[in-house]
């Protein structure tokens, strides 16, 4: 009987401690689960950081290694991004040093200034707000879609489209963020002042000119060669 009493006493004592032990076990399991999830999240973060660092290091090396290929068959979106970055950098320089402007670089010919242009290119249609944004977005979407289907052999076309997209994005960014376009190049021709413009305007104009040359002067020659080849094949 004494042993039975001792056994029951020990059993009851352990049963009283059981809820506390279950709580400790439950907390331990929760903590273990949380630590596993945290370790998984940290592993994902580390993987993303390493992937980003790898891309930052390796992609420039890839570009340098394949520089000739990129110039022979330029990626429209890649070079459009580069033109956009150059445009943004020059505009930020002008805005940050606007208190020092205007500066006469060449007397009576070339001046660096700071002009807020709410209109279209070269200050035309200053009362227009929404139409330039819609036109720029439409042009960017159409050209980007067309560039994805453009053959690699169309090098001049690719360069022209990259200039057009980069310039359009540069001015579109200004319109959306500031409500106006930052212009700073001013040329004087006697008493005539040419409309103030920026790098994005230059990119768009050069892109249009290159596209015009490609369509009206280079493409017909290719068509004639194709026609001559087809005639030669039929005669043979």
One domain for residues 167 and 229? yes
**What is the radius of gyration, based on Cα positions, of the chain?**
33
Q: Is the pLDDT of residue 125 over 70?
A: no
One domain for residues 59 and 99? no
Q: Which of 15, 31, 65 is the last residue of a domain?
A: 65
Lowest mean pLDDT among 20-34, 165-179, 198-212: 20-34
Backbone angles phi, psi at 75, to 5 degrees: -80, 120
pLDDT attached to residue 101: 87
Contact 102, 108 (CB under 8 A): no
One domain for residues 176 and 61? no
Distances, alpha carbon 139 to alpha carbons 66, 76, 81, 132, 161, in Å: 29, 14, 15, 10, 10
Contact 59, 139 (CB under 8 A): no
Q: Looking at the annotation, which residues are catalytic? A: 183, 201
One domain for residues 202 and 130? yes
At 78, the pLDDT band (50, 70, 90 cuts) reads confident
Which strands sit side by side in the sheet containing 181-189, from one edge to the other? 103-106, 110-117, 181-189, 192-193
pLDDT attached to residue 47: 82
The rounded distance, in Å, linking the Cα atoms of 162 and 155 is 11
One domain for residues 153 and 204? yes
Contact 204, 167 (CB under 8 A): yes
The rounded distance, in Å, linking the Cα atoms of 204 and 162 is 9
Listed in sequence order, the residues at least 6 apart from 93 whose beta carbon sits closer than 8 Å to its beta carbon are none
| Bond before 102 cis per omega within 30 degrees | yes
pLDDT tens for 169-201 read 999 899 888 888 999 999 988 888 888 899 999
Number of domains observed in the structure of the chain: 2
One domain for residues 25 and 138? no
One domain for residues 59 and 73? no
Higher pLDDT, 18 or 39: 39
156, burial (CB in 10 Å: exposed 0-12, middle 13-18, buried 19+): middle
Higher pLDDT, 200 or 142: 200
pLDDT tens for 61-74 read 655 555 555 455 55
The pLDDT of 40-50, averaged and rounded, is 81
pLDDT attached to residue 136: 78
One domain for residues 139 and 118? yes
pLDDT attached to residue 114: 92
pLDDT attached to residue 14: 54
pLDDT attached to residue 198: 93
The rounded distance, in Å, linking the Cα atoms of 205 and 197 is 11
What range does the domain containing 157 cover? Answer: 68-235
DSSP 150: S
pLDDT attached to residue 113: 92
Q: Is the pLDDT of residue 129 over 90?
A: no
Contact 196, 123 (CB under 8 A): yes
At 56, the pLDDT band (50, 70, 90 cuts) reads low
Q: Which of 18, 37, 65 is the last residue of a domain?
A: 65
86, burial (CB in 10 Å: exposed 0-12, middle 13-18, buried 19+): middle
pLDDT attached to residue 185: 93
The rounded distance, in Å, linking the Cα atoms of 147 and 156 is 12
Contact 175, 133 (CB under 8 A): yes
């Amino acid at each position: 009987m004494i042993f039975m009493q001792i056994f029951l006493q020990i059993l009851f004592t352990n049963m009283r401690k059981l809820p506390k032990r279950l709580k400790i076990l439950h907390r331990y399991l929760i903590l273990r689960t949380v630590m596993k999830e945290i370790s998984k999240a940290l592993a994902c973060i580390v993987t993303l950081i390493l992937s980003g660092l790898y891309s930052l290091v390796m992609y420039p090396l890839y570009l340098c290694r394949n520089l000739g290929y990129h110039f022979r068959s330029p990626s429209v979106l890649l070079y459009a991004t580069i033109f956009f970055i150059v445009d943004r950098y020059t505009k930020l320089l002008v805005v940050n040093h606007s208190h020092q402007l205007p500066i006469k670089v060449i007397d009576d010919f070339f001046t660096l200034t700071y002009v807020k242009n709410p209109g279209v290119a070269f200050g035309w249609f200053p009362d227009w707000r929404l139409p330039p944004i819609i036109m720029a977005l439409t042009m960017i979407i159409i050209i980007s879609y067309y560039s994805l289907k453009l053959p690699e052999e169309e090098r001049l076309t690719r360069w022209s489209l990259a200039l057009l997209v980069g310039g359009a994005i540069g001015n579109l960014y200004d319109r959306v963020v500031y409500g106006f376009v930052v212009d700073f190049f001013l040329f004087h021709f006697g008493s005539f002042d040419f409309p103030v413009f920026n790098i994005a305007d230059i990119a768009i104009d050069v892109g249009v000119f290159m596209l015009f040359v490609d369509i009206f002067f280079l493409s017909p020659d290719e068509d004639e060669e194709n026609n001559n080849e087809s005639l030669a094949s039929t005669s043979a």
